[in-house]
């Protein structure tokens, strides 16, 4: 069993690394909060299509489910949650690769 907060951080870092590989410097996504995603979308502008935004927002929501935030817990990761994250990661990678 692993710490759910650490799982959340690792998942968030994976998402950020996919997005930030295509958006260097000041245009990088700084987090997966709604505010951070909205700011990033304004910085990047028309490059962010629904194809990128939809899986990104879904991943932000799924990453949030990895930790209960009330305190760190030690429990196995829900397999279906892990599968959903991997599925959305694949969609995000493909969408980001098509960004201009």
- Average pLDDT score, the chain: 87
Sign of CA dihedral 20, 26, 31, 33: negative
74 SS3 class: strand
Q: What is the pLDDT of residue 91?
A: 97
Using one digit for the tens of pLDDT, what is the confidence trace for 26-75?
Answer: 999 999 999 999 999 999 998 898 999 999 999 999 998 887 655 555 55
Tell me the C-alpha distance between 43 and 26, whole Å: 8
**Tokens 């196995």 found at:** 76
Single pTM value for the model: 0.84
**Tokens 């879904």 found at:** 58
Q: What is the pLDDT of residue 1?
A: 39
Q: What is the dihedral of CA 53, 57, 62, 66, to 10 degrees?
A: 120
Give Rg (Cα) of the chain.
Answer: 14
Q: What is the pLDDT of residue 77?
A: 64
Tell me the HSE value of 83 on the side-chain side, using a 13 A CA sphere: 3
């Amino acid at each position: 069993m692993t710490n759910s907060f650490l799982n959340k951080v690792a998942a968030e870092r994976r998402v950020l690394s996919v997005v930030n590989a295509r958006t260097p410097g000041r245009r990088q996504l700084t987090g997966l909060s709604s505010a951070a995603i909205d700011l990033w979308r304004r910085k990047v502008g028309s490059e962010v299509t629904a194809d990128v935004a939809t899986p990104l927002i879904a991943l932000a929501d799924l990453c949030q489910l990895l930790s209960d935030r009330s305190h760190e817990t030690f429990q196995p990761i829900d397999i279906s949650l892990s599968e959903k994250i991997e599925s959305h990661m694949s969609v995000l990678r493909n969408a980001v690769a098509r960004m201009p």
